[in-house]
A and B are shown apart, each in its own frame.
Chain A
Amino acid sequence: MNEVLCMKNITKRYENGVLANENASFSLCKGEIHAIAGENGAGKSTLMKILFGAEQPTEGVIELSGKQVKITSPKVATRLGIGMVYQHFMLVDELPVYLNVFLGIEKRRGILLDKQAMIRETYELCRKYDMPVDPMAPCGELPVSLRQKVEILKVLARKAEIIILDEPTAVLTPQETEQLFRQLRILRNDGHTIVIITHKLKEMKMLCDRITVMRQGRTVGVVNAADVTEQQLSELMVGNAVLLKVNKSPAHPGKIVAEMQKAVVPGSGRLRLDNVSFSVRAGEILCLAGVEGNGQQQAAECMTGQIAYQGSVKVLGQEVSGRSVRTIRNLGMAHIPEDRMTMGTDQQASLHENLISVDFGSNTRLGFLRNKKLRLRSEQQLMDFGVKGQYHTPIALLSGGNMQKVVVARELSQSPKLIIADQPTRGVDVGAIAFIHEKLVSLRDKGCGIVLVSADMSEVLSLSDRILVFHEGQIVAEITDVGNTSEQQLGRYMLGIDRMEAGS
């Protein structure tokens, strides 16, 4: 084994006292694919940001090829041959692929850009690593999976030897994931060393050579992927055994709680929602599945009153159009939004202020908030949902998983009759996923209708009672026998390769 990189006893303490890493250690061998696994808030992203120079460690040393280095900025990291692909892509949508790839390191001839050379090199990188990207296409027009390739190309163009990928498969379908893995293997065989941050057990087993497991800021183990089972990995990550299967009995659908009839949502170019009709019943979990941008989000947004539509959308017996969010919520609709940062929370407020936002109006006396009562309730909710933090903690200090728990706590505490859950577990750790799933199932059993929008295959298949697959704004399949459907089959529907005949 040929160690190229070693991080020793890394501790990262933020100014506000939050301890993100404590005595964490990490080492990389040349030419391996190495996973950093752990729950959200386990400190894996922070550790990698330290390696990439985006954060500075409070204590600890980093050695590259045996020599101690100080990585003070991403620029330094790049010079040392370390590259990172962030989870949220950083591309200029208006520029073509090749200019994005060479952004900041443009090739010049005199004072002019040498476009031909950049196009040629981009093209060669694409060919070498089997990436089907057109160097001339504007980035904004590329699908998510290809934008990710552009990010990888950026790193390669900077001659990175060590490539860090932060949750690269979060936005990909199974087929796209397989393709990405094929390319990563080509990169490894070419001598690159690859680190992927992930919490998907299957992928670690499928792709990686070694796995470093982190828990609560510490590294708790380094294992060979071939030597462990998923169950063992999961135990390492969480500390105790977590069921990956959702425990639930068959659904007993009741009366209709939401209904969409011939709904149309216009978009630029094609319709975002093209004549869609379906209904949701009490006591069932209906999943609107699809690759992002195929209309399932718009269908959910119609029901929550966020976007205008043509046709009819009824929630709990009332037409949504023309009614305020307040009215729809008062009818018994709860909504876990897709984006917890920009919509689901107020990042400048405390946990308490985030927990009372939907029903503070009914807890007042002469206009004054009943703060004592509300505070006790908030404390109770934080305890019930296992959120690490007190009622006055600023929500911005929480990890993604804990933040999502706050959103879920708020929404599920309203005794809803209909829940619109848009990617309720995206970027959330195993423990929190199981918890959120359990809560959703128990509400279903109490007769609540649940609409689940998800891009996560295993979530779709394990949680849903019924699945509607969206493709290009239309429903292309309705799956009622969820238990006997494979990820592969669902993926084929989502990609529009297969289509169920209408009338099912």
Chain B
Amino acid sequence: MKHRFVRPLLNIVVRLALAVAVAAVVLTGACLLLKGNIEEVMAAFFLGPLEDEYAVAEILREAVPLIFTGIAVSLMVRCGQFNMFVEGAFFGGAFLAGVLAPMLGEHAVITPLLTILAGAAAMGILGYIPAKMKSSLGVNEFVSSLMLNYIVFWVVMYLIHGIAADPDYPNATPYLEDTMRLPLLNEDTELSSNLVIALAIAVCSGLFLFKTKWGYALRITGDNPSFADYSGISSDRYVTASQVIGASLAGMGGAAFLLGNYYRFQWSSLPNYGFDGFVITSIAGNNPYAVPAAALFLGYLRVGALQVSRLGDIPNEVIYVIQAIIIILFGAHFFFHARRKGGAGNA
């Protein structure tokens, strides 16, 4: 038991500390350069996100989409797949929810749940394209899924400027009545119940990955596809399945996010949550159980950034610099690892 939990945990703690240190250093540098008040900025960044219930609710709200995409990516990475369609699937799922919920009408709970399931199903089907191309034809899933993102994005853009749009509200889907949305957990802070769904998905994914035969086969395939095939586990099947499941969870996340936090779908660019998923799963050591914690951490950093930008001294861009450095810190490790694994798999 010991090496299974203690070491990964220690690893994560060290990296988090490193991330916090990086944030502090960059903020200090920015303050010196831009003549900001270091004390004030630090307080806003590190304590601001915890100052009241609204700020804390904001952290949770930031974390929800990250949990979905983090889980989606972790399941694919565990199977050795680097599929970027999580981004497109999250976007597509959100759009679909914006269109579908008004069509289903005002049935509390039923409408949002059906909509979310539909988003998951639709994106799972789309996710089958790069997945099957990988397992049957050996097409690199990284490239094909990245392309699929653009296809989904531009098709949605086309639809939202045409048939899917609200006639009275240009470039957006029709208004979502409260009954079409997910119920709120707290009226005051407007915290949505999609948080509960996200946590449930995290637990279910952990159970799936570590306790079921499919999860076991998926992990074995990810570790060593030749060993899987030799043992009688059809690695191609799990390569496909992991990507379909990932895309479908991302689609579900997009739908749940829209139905929890928005009244219309009117995004005009990809939201980047899918790419954030890679950062999250990397912080979490590809462990679904640890994904919510990682998502909360990134959410905390983002709310801190928001607080700093409100002070006016430090421009928002500095926050993106901090984020980018943190992503490089975690991401470099992540992609290095990925390449090594990929190399072993292809040899």
A positions within 8 Å CB-CB of B: 16, 304, 306, 324-326, 329-330, 335, 337, 342-349, 353, 356-358, 360-361, 364, 367-369, 371, 392, 394
Contact = CB atoms under 8 A, between A and B. Distances in A.
B220 interface: yes
Contacts of B211: 368-369, 371
Contacts of A344: 227, 230
A324 B213 contact: no
A106 B38 CA distance: 56
Interface stretch (B161-169, B184-192, B231-239, B290-298): B231-239
Contact of A369 (B3, B213, B226, B344): B213
Given A360-B213, A369-B213, A369-B216, A348 B229 contact: no
Contact of A349 (B3, B220, B229, B234): B220
A324 to B, nearest CB: 7
Contact of B224 (A304, A348, A367, A392): A348
Nearest to A339: B226
From B214, B219, B227, B233, name the one whose CB has the most chain A CB atoms within 10 angstroms: B227
A72 to B, nearest CB: 25
12 contacts: A324-B234, A325-B229, A325-B230, A326-B232, A326-B233, A342-B226, A353-B219, A357-B220, A358-B231, A367-B214, A368-B213, A371-B211
A325 B224 CA distance: 16
B223 interface: yes
A-B pairs, 9 with minimum CB distance: A326-B232, A357-B231, A348-B223, A325-B232, A346-B223, A346-B224, A367-B212, A329-B232, A358-B231
B220 A353 contact: yes
Nearest to A361: B213
A368 B1 contact: no
A490 B253 CA distance: 66
Contacts of A394: 3
Contacts of A16: 3
Interface string B195-221: 000000000000000011110110110
B174 to A, nearest CB: 40
A349 B220 CA distance: 8
Nearest to A369: B213
Contacts of B4: 392
A358 B232 contact: yes
A353 B230 contact: no
A93 to B, nearest CB: 14
Contacts of A342: 224, 226-227, 344, 347
Interface residues of B, number: 24
Nearest to B222: A348
Nearest to B208: A367
B227 A357 contact: yes
A453 to B, nearest CB: 15
A367 B227 CA distance: 21
Given A368-B212, A369-B212, A335 B230 contact: yes
A306 B231 CA distance: 11
Interface of B: 1, 3-4, 211-214, 216-217, 219-220, 223-224, 226-234, 344, 347
B227 A346 contact: yes
Contacts of B231: 325, 357-358
Nearest to A327: B232
A357 to B, nearest CB: 4
Nearest to B2: A392
Chain B binding surface SS class: helix
Contacts of A361: 213
A364 B230 CA distance: 21
Contacts of B219: 349, 353
A364 B217 CA distance: 13
A364 B211 CA distance: 10
A289 to B, nearest CB: 23
A214 to B, nearest CB: 28
B139 to A, nearest CB: 22
B216 A360 contact: yes
Contact of A324 (B216, B226, B232): B232
A299 to B, nearest CB: 17
A344 B231 CA distance: 8
A165 B344 CA distance: 27
Contacts of A353: 216, 219-220
A304 B230 CA distance: 8
Contacts of A335: 230
Contacts of A348: 223-224
Nearest to A371: B211
A116 B90 CA distance: 63
Given A392-B1, A392-B4, A347 B230 contact: no
A288 B69 CA distance: 52
From B1, B213, B231, B233, name the one whose CB has the most chain A CB atoms within 10 angstroms: B231
Contacts of A326: 232-234
Nearest to A329: B232
A326 B213 CA distance: 15
B224 A347 contact: yes
B213 A364 contact: yes
A423 to B, nearest CB: 15
Contact of A343 (B1, B3, B216, B226): B226
A493 B214 CA distance: 48
Contacts of B344: 342
Nearest to A335: B230
A347 B212 contact: no
A245 B6 CA distance: 47
Contacts of B212: 364, 367-369
Contacts of B228: 357
Given A348-B223, A349-B223, A358-B231, 9 more contacts: A306-B229, A342-B227, A345-B227, A346-B227, A357-B228, A357-B233, A358-B232, A367-B214, A392-B3
Contacts of B232: 324-326, 329-330, 358
A418 B300 CA distance: 59
Contacts of A304: 230
Contacts of A343: 226-227, 230
A335 B4 CA distance: 30
A273 B166 CA distance: 68
Contacts of B214: 367
A260 B227 CA distance: 25
A64 to B, nearest CB: 36
Nearest to B344: A342
Nearest to B231: A357
A135 B227 CA distance: 38
Contacts of B216: 353, 356, 360, 369
Contacts of A329: 232
Nearest to B232: A326
A167 to B, nearest CB: 23
Contacts of B229: 306, 325
From A356, A357, A358, A368, name the one whose CB has the most chain B CB atoms within 10 angstroms: A357
Contacts of B227: 342-346, 357
B288 to A, nearest CB: 16
A345 to B, nearest CB: 6
A9 to B, nearest CB: 29
B213 A367 contact: yes
A473 to B, nearest CB: 24
A346 B216 CA distance: 12
A269 B319 CA distance: 61
A344 B195 CA distance: 42
Nearest to B221: A346
B344 to A, nearest CB: 8
A502 B211 CA distance: 56
